């Protein structure tokens, strides 16, 4: 949807830009036309004619051939340009921002003595009448004195939409003595500009429809690919489960055979044979643990974990794990301490998954804590829950990795190349805890250590499946992985 939004915004922006470019082009053509008219027309009037009419004054100038000549030129200019509404000559007055009319193409019939036969006349442009030029930009900024120019603003009055052009009339000393002005009716131009809305609007709609169609097609294609990936992922998990299950039986049998061989022939073989058998036994144990872990990952991924909650005596349960961890800690010269309550209430937990979780956290704490460091294991009972804390002074988890630490196959960046691991442990631990209605979280600072917390309810009469515990964790996890 974000792609669609930005694409639509781009289409609208491009369309508006194209429309603005077209409107500006039409405006430039209009400017060129008005400038061409006013530039050519200004050459028809000589400074001597204008000086004579100004010196005679409004009343006296009306009876002169010069006045008749100037007005006829203005009328000729109007006839040559069918869209020209007014043509006139102004001269500056002594009042600020006030111009006086010298001649106008439309007022000559005001004096019957001149024998002009015009049906309708106006007083506005009569010689000597005043006109306020306030607001006409080319006069305010003085650009009209530099040469022919246009007033960029289109204005509307009772004669229609008008666009004005002006040209200075200068004497032999290059002083401006008057201004030739023309007003062009630009109603057709305005209609033309508005008419461009339609094609550009149609173009926009067509482009939007094409864009929406492409987006829908893309989303359908993407959805098909997502479904295919989900199906492949599901088949992969099923295959992984089948392979792990098939591997588990022969590995277990091999392990027990080695145990039997180790017990029966320990006294009959030399030190080298004993060492070889011990290595084989340990390798088989490690392989069995890995297969078991992969099988758990597959079950969690497929939502097929079955939680088998039974009464569990916690004192013996935790003491057993402590005895398993202590030798490894002692070998690395790590100070391992533990604190358990004096007595535990009866708990209803899945023994295998609970042990796997706590033992994994303790093993990791020892593994990632350097020689001479500390690992502390504390168990407490709070409000019907058992809370386990595993605290170490190890390498810690980098802040950038903390959000992903429970992800499948993810390992923190500061230990990837220095400590062996497969990235399954915390993923399975989270699934095991949340499938029982519990919570797992941690606090960590890189270089200083990590503390993991596991909170499990002691009592639960319902046998949860992996997808029933704690808000359907497996379903949420699968959705997150697929997305």
Whether residue 435 is predicted with pLDDT greater than 50 in this model: the reply is yes
Segment 56-113, tens digit of pLDDT: 887 778 778 998 899 999 999 988 888 888 999 999 988 888 999 988 888 644 444 4
Whether residue 345 is predicted with pLDDT greater than 50 in this model: the reply is yes
> Across the strands, what pairs with 449?
445
Whether residue 232 is predicted with pLDDT greater than 90 in this model: the reply is no
Q: Which residues 6+ apart lie within 8 Å of 71 measured at CB?
A: 103, 104, 105, 108
358 neighbors 454 (Cβ within 8 angstroms): yes
Segment 309-337, tens digit of pLDDT: 899 999 999 999 899 899 999 999 999 99
pLDDT score of 214: 79
Angle at 437 between CA 432 and CA 441, to 5 degrees: 65
Which range (74-78, 159-163, 202-206, 375-379) has the least confidence?
Answer: 202-206
pLDDT score of 377: 96
Neighbours of 459 (CB within 10 A): 12
The DSSP line for 234-249 is HHHHHHHHHHHHHHHH
- Tell which residue, 480, 433, 407, has the closest CA to residue 305: 433
Helix or strand run (H / E) with residue 479: helix 473-482
Tell me what percent of the residues of the chain surpass a pLDDT of 70: 73
Mean pLDDT of 291-299: 64
Q: What is the DSSP letter of 370?
A: P
Helix or strand run (H / E) with residue 280: helix 271-302
Helix or strand run (H / E) with residue 179: strand 176-185
Whether residue 308 is predicted with pLDDT greater than 90 in this model: the reply is no
Q: What is the mean pLDDT of the chain?
A: 79
Which range (3-12, 41-50, 364-373) has the least confidence?
Answer: 3-12
Check residues 447 and 277 and name the one with the higher pLDDT: 447
Separation between Cα atoms, residue 310 and residue 46, nearest integer Å: 116
Q: What is the DSSP letter of 158?
A: T
- Tell which residue, 295, 444, 437, 260, has the closest CA to residue 369: 444
CB-based burial label for 399 (10 Å; 0-12, 13-18, 19+): exposed
Segment 399-410, tens digit of pLDDT: 998 988 888 777
Whether residue 270 is predicted with pLDDT greater than 60 in this model: the reply is yes
How are beta strands 374-382 and 385-392 bridged, if at all? antiparallel
Helical H segments across 332-449, by residue range: 351-367, 425-435
pLDDT score of 290: 61
Q: Is the pTM of this model over 0.85?
A: no
Helix axes 351-367 and 314-331, enclosed angle (nearest 10): 20
Whether residue 436 is predicted with pLDDT greater than 80 in this model: the reply is yes
Segment 237-249, tens digit of pLDDT: 655 555 555 565 5
- Tell which residue, 176, 186, 174, 171, has the closest CA to residue 144: 176
Segment 171-223, tens digit of pLDDT: 888 999 999 999 988 888 777 777 777 777 787 788 778 877 877 888 788 77
pLDDT score of 393: 94
Q: Give all domains of the chain, ordered by start, each with its CATH number.
A: 2-195 (3.30.450.20), 215-300 (1.10.287.130), 305-482 (3.30.565.10)
Which range (209-213, 240-244, 292-296, 354-358) has the least confidence?
Answer: 240-244
pLDDT score of 361: 94
Residue 242 CA from chain centroid, whole number: 43
Separation between Cα atoms, residue 42 and residue 56, nearest integer Å: 22
Which range (3-12, 196-205, 465-474) has the least confidence?
Answer: 465-474
């Amino acid at each position: 949807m974000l792609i669609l939004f930005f694409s639509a915004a781009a289409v609208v922006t491009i369309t508006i830009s194209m429309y603005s470019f077209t409107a500006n082009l039409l405006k430039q053509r209009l400017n060129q036309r008005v400038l061409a008219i006013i530039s050519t027309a200004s050459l028809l009037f000589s400074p001597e004619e204008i000086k004579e009419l100004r010196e005679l004054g409004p009343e006296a100038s009306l009876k002169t051939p010069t006045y008749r000549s100037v007005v006829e030129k203005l009328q000729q200019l109007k006839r040559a340009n069918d869209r020209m509404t007014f043509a006139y000559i102004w001269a500056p007055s002594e009042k600020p921002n006030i111009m006086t009319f010298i001649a106008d193409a439309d007022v000559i019939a005001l004096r019957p003595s001149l024998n002009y036969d015009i049906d309708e006349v106006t007083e506005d442009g009569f010689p000597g009448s005043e006109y306020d030029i306030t607001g006409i930009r080319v006069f305010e900024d003085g650009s009209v004195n530099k040469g022919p120019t246009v007033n960029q603003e289109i204005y509307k009055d009772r004669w229609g939409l008008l666009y004005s052009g002006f040209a200075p009339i200068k004497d032999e000393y290059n002083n401006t003595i008057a201004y030739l002005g023309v007003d062009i009716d630009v109603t057709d131009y305005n209609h033309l500009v508005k008419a461009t809305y339609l094609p550009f609007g149609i173009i926009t709609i067509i482009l939007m429809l094409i864009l929406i169609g492409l987006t829908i097609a893309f989303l359908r294609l993407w959805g098909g690919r997502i479904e295919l990936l989900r199906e492949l992922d599901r088949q992969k998990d099923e295959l992984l489960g089948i392979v792990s299950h098939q591997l588990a039986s022969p590995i277990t049998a091999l392990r027990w055979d080695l145990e039997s061989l180790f017990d029966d022939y320990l006294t009959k073989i030399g030190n080298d044979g004993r060492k070889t058998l011990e290595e084989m036994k340990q390798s088989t144990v490690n392989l069995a643990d890995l297969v078991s872990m992969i099988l758990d990952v597959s079950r969690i991924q497929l939502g097929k974990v079955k939680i088998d909650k039974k009464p569990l005596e916690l004192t013996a349960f935790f003491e057993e794990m402590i005895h398993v961890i202590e030798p490894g800690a002692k070998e690395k010269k790590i100070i391992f301490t533990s604190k358990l309550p004096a007595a535990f209430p009866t708990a209803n937990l899945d023994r295998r998954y609970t042990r796997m979780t706590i033992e994994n956290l303790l093993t990791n704490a020892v593994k990632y804590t350097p020689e001479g460091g500390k690992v502390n294991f504390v168990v407490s009972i709070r409000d019907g829950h058992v809370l386990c804390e595993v605290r170490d002074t190890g390498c810690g988890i980098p802040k950038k990795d903390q959000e992903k630490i429970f992800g499948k196959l993810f390992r923190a960046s500061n230990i990837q190349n220095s400590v062996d691991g497969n990235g399954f442990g915390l993923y399975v631990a989270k699934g095991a805890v949340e499938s029982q209605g519990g919570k797992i979280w941690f606090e960590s600072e890189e270089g200083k250590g990590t503390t993991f917390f596991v909170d499990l309810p002691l009592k639960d009469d319902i046998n949860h499946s992996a997808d029933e515990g704690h808000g359907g964790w497996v379903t949420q996890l699968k959705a997150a992985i697929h997305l």
